[in-house]
């Protein structure tokens, strides 16, 4: 398939459509407005449905409805709007509804800034709503990776009947890059996916208690509820083996940069420039931030490493908490941070790395 | 001997209702079931339950159902219906759910003319949480969060959802009924059937607001609560068809 030049938001939307997404509901918020705009003209072309919800709260619940009735469905937003969606996400997780949502993160807290940031890390990976649920959180570093992860998100959501979060940021969403789009699912393939969910979809079944669709985000029985929690916990644990990570020039590294999303890409570029100057730098870039790729940090040769440099667009540092849990004290952890909507500069990363190495 | 009346099969036979004595959720649940059977659409039914006592019936109903977050039933129903137009999608919501926390979702779904049906239970109080002030609580009526009763200057006035939605252009059918006597129960069933039929005919948004009682939280016995409905609730919430587009030229 030919490469096309696309903006991140629109590339993700197109990838979703090609992955079989046939319902999208969303509400305007910067910097992700191109997603609902794109979907509003694209989905009708493939027999899908777009609804502009009256709020993020309504939009995510429309997705809850469409997905509980068997359709591949998606919503997107940016940080403050993601908070509003957390109610619906928790319900989807509880009721085991497969759905995908994307966060084009911006500065926070509060209304914060409309420019890119990575300040929703803990919300995305630890508590995206009430009730202690987890879900796969995929963090692309390029528009191409965003496209690929969008397809993975829908497959993962359906396989395990779980929400999946695409944790992007304002940079990934607004930059244009050449991308190779996936093959579009045919109408027959999309119909087959929906058909495969018919047994549990809340669309009407012959009158028979044993066969009714019963999609419930809770239970009146505390014993049943605990069982539901235990089954979910086992599933979350099973995801650990599916953690995805990019490890770049780590074998002989004296300094390991670690970052996710757009900062991972900036850090990778810094690694190349540091290497050109004779500094043995490496990178560990989690692609799934949940499940977190702890094993990649175990593979680091700590006898050679002076420090781990955590690079993130968040003050205070948030991603560093998972890094700390992964490094387990085997090396000191330094940080290179910016926030408020300021984009991490490669020069700042290089400077911070040199300071660590050269002391 | 001919059998002329039988229990609806849409309620599981082996289940005992957990509704309080005098509660009309069980009455309305029966009417919905009978309406679905008489229209022969049980196998198309997709019910979106609200939060609160509404949700108790999830264990009794024999047809497809889900539960929306508090107030979001019309949004969830929108998602189901838009992607499955052949399903009969209806919400079942109380006054706190539909008229307070879900006001935006309710108004917006009605304004879009979503081809769904809303069964709205108005008993003027929050039931499951223990009798707090509702958007439909009458002036002077005591609530656990309004110990001196509803005071207009402090709490505003009861909200009339049929009349509010009647300000919108899109809704097709709005009727207010009650279940306080056999005649009104029969009218309620007819209204539910009509609201379902409207959806089957693709007419758009229909709502039946049903004025009911809550003896437990009203602090009355069931018979007294029937009198309260007649004497206090119905003058505030007059019964009748508020909007029926099929009657318009």
CATH number at residue B231: 3.40.50.970
Which helix or strand (DSSP H or E) is residue B90 part of?
Answer: strand B88-94
Assess whether pLDDT exceeds 70 at residue A1.
Answer: no
pLDDT, residue A178, reads: 97
* Nearest C-alpha neighbor of B106 from the set B232, B244, B209: B209
pLDDT, residue B249, reads: 66
Write down all domains in chain A, each with its CATH number in brackets.
3-196 (3.40.50.970), 246-358 (3.40.50.920)
pLDDT, residue A56, reads: 98
- Is residue B79 less than 8 Å (CB to CB) from chain A? yes
B194 domain-assigned: yes
Count of residues making up chain B: 249
* pLDDT mean over A322-344: 98
State percent of chain B over pLDDT 90.
93
pLDDT, residue A170, reads: 93
Contacts of B49 (CB under 8 A, 6+ apart): B55, B57, B58, B65, B66, B67, B68, B73, B91, B92, B93
* pLDDT mean over B226-244: 98
B219 domain-assigned: yes
Confidence of residue B230 (pLDDT cuts 50, 70, 90): very high
* pLDDT mean over A248-264: 98
Assess whether pLDDT exceeds 90 at residue A359.
Answer: no
Assess whether pLDDT exceeds 90 at residue A15.
Answer: yes
* pLDDT mean over B112-139: 97
B20 domain-assigned: no
Instruction: Give the mutation candidate from B64, B88, B92 for the A interface (greatest A CB count, under 10 A).
Output: B64
Whether A163 and A89 have beta carbons less than 8 Å apart is answered as yes
Assess whether pLDDT exceeds 70 at residue B95.
Answer: yes
Q: Which residues of B touch A49 (CB under 8 A)?
A: 82-83
Q: By three-state DSSP, how is residue B25 classified?
A: helix
pLDDT, residue B31, reads: 98
- Is residue B67 less than 8 Å (CB to CB) from chain A? yes
Q: Tell the residue number behind the tokens 């079942």, with chain if given.
A: B92
pLDDT, residue B247, reads: 93
Assess whether pLDDT exceeds 80 at residue A208.
Answer: no
Q: Which residues of B touch A212 (CB under 8 A)?
A: 61-65
* Nearest C-alpha neighbor of A153 from the set A137, A168, A172, A141: A137
Confidence of residue A127 (pLDDT cuts 50, 70, 90): very high
pLDDT, residue B15, reads: 84
Min Cα–Cα distance to chain B from A275, Å: 52
Q: Which residues of A touch B107 (CB under 8 A)?
A: 54
B11 domain-assigned: no
Number of separate domains in chain B: 1
Contact at CB, B83 and A22, closer than 8 angstroms: yes
Radius of gyration of chain B (CA): 17
DSSP secondary structure string for all residues of A194-224: HHHTTTTSSS---S-GGG--EE-S--S-HHH
Q: Which residues of A touch B45 (CB under 8 A)?
A: 204
Size of interface A-B (CB pairs under 8 A): 151
Assess whether pLDDT exceeds 90 at residue B4.
Answer: no
Q: What is the dihedral of CA B145, B150, B151, B154, to 10 degrees?
A: 40
* pLDDT mean over A228-247: 98
Domain encompassing residue B48 = 25-242
Closest chain A CA to residue B108: A54
B12 domain-assigned: no
DSSP state of A329: T
B100 domain-assigned: yes
Q: Tell the residue number behind the tokens 């309004």, with chain if given.
A: B146
Min Cα–Cα distance to chain A from B44, Å: 4
Mean pLDDT taken over chain B:
96
ipTM of the complex model? 0.97
Assess whether pLDDT exceeds 80 at residue B133.
Answer: yes
B152 domain-assigned: yes
Assess whether pLDDT exceeds 80 at residue A222.
Answer: yes
Contact at CB, A62 and B84, closer than 8 angstroms: no
Sign of CA dihedral A143, A146, A148, A154: negative
Assess whether pLDDT exceeds 80 at residue A2.
Answer: no
DSSP state of B69: S
């Amino acid at each position: 398939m030919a490469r096309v030049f696309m903006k991140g938001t629109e590339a993700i939307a197109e990838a979703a459509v090609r992955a079989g997404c046939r319902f999208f509901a969303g509400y305007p918020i910067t910097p992700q407005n191109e997603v609902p705009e794109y979907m509003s003209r694209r989905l009708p072309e493939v027999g899908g449905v777009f609804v502009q919800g009256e709020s993020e709260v309504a939009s995510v619940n429309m997705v809850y409805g469409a997905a509980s009735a068997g359709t591949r469905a998606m919503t997107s937003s940016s940080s403050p709007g993601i908070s509003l969606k957390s109610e619906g996400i928790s319900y989807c997780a509880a009721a085991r509804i497969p759905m995908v949502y994307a966060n084009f993160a911006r500065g926070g807290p509060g209304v914060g800034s409309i420019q890119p940031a990575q300040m929703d890390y803990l919300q995305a990976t630890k508590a995206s709503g009430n009730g202690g649920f987890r879900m796969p959180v995929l963090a692309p570093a390029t528009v191409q990776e965003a496209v690929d992860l969008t397809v993975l998100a829908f497959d993962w959501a359906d396989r395990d009947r779980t929400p999946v979060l695409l944790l992007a940021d304002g940079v990934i969403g607004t930059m244009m890059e050449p991308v190779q789009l996936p093959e579009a699912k045919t109408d027959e393939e999309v119909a087959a996916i929906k058909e495969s969910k018919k047994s549990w979809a809340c669309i009407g079944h012959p009158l028979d208690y044993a066969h009714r669709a019963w999609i419930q985000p809770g239970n009146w029985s505390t014993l049943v509820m605990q069982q539901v929690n235990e089954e979910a916990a086992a599933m979350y644990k099973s995801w650990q083996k599916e953690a995805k990570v990019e490890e770049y020039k780590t074998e002989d590294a004296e300094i390991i940069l670690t970052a996710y999303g757009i900062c991972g890409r900036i850090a990778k570029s810094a690694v190349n420039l540091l290497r050109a100057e004779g500094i043995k730098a490496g990178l560990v870039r989690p692609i799934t931030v949940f499940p977190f790729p702890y094993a990649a940090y175990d593979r680091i040769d700590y006898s050679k490493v002076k420090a781990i440099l955590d690079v993130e667009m968040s003050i205070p540092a948030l991603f560093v908490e998972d890094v700390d849990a992964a490094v387990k004290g085997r090396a000191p952890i330094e940080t290179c941070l910016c926030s408020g909507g300021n984009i991490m500069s490669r020069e700042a990363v290089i400077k911070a790395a040199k300071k660590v190495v050269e002391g | 001997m001919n059998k002329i009346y039988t229990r609806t099969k849409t309620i599981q036979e082996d289940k005992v209702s957990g509704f309080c004595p005098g509660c009309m959720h069980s009455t309305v649940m029966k009417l919905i079931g009978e309406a679905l059977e008489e229209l022969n659409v049980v196998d198309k039914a997709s019910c979106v339950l609200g939060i609160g006592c509404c949700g108790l019936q999830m264990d009794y109903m024999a047809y497809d159902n889900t539960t929306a977050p508090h107030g979001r039933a019309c949004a969830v129903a929108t998602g189901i219906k838009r992607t499955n137009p052949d399903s009969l999608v209806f919400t079942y919501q109380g006054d706190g759910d539909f008229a307070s926390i879900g006001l935006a979702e309710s108004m917006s779904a009605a304004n879009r003319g979503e081809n769904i049906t809303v069964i709205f239970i108005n008993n003027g109080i929050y039931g499951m949480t223990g009798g707090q002030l509702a958007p439909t609580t009458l002036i002077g009526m005591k609530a656990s969060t309004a110990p001196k009763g509803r005071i207009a200057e402090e709490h505003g006035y009861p909200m009339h959802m049929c009349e509010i939605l009647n300000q919108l252009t899109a809704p097709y059918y709005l009727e207010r009924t009650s279940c306080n006597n056999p005649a009104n129960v029969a009218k309620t069933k007819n209204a539910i059937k009509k609201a379902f039929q409207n959806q089957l005919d693709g007419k758009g948004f229909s709502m039946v607001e049903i004025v009911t009682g809550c003896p437990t939280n009203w602090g009355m016995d069931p018979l007294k609560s029937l009198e309260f409905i007649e004497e206090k609730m119905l003058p505030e919430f007059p019964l009748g068809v508020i909007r029926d587009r099929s009657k318009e030229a």
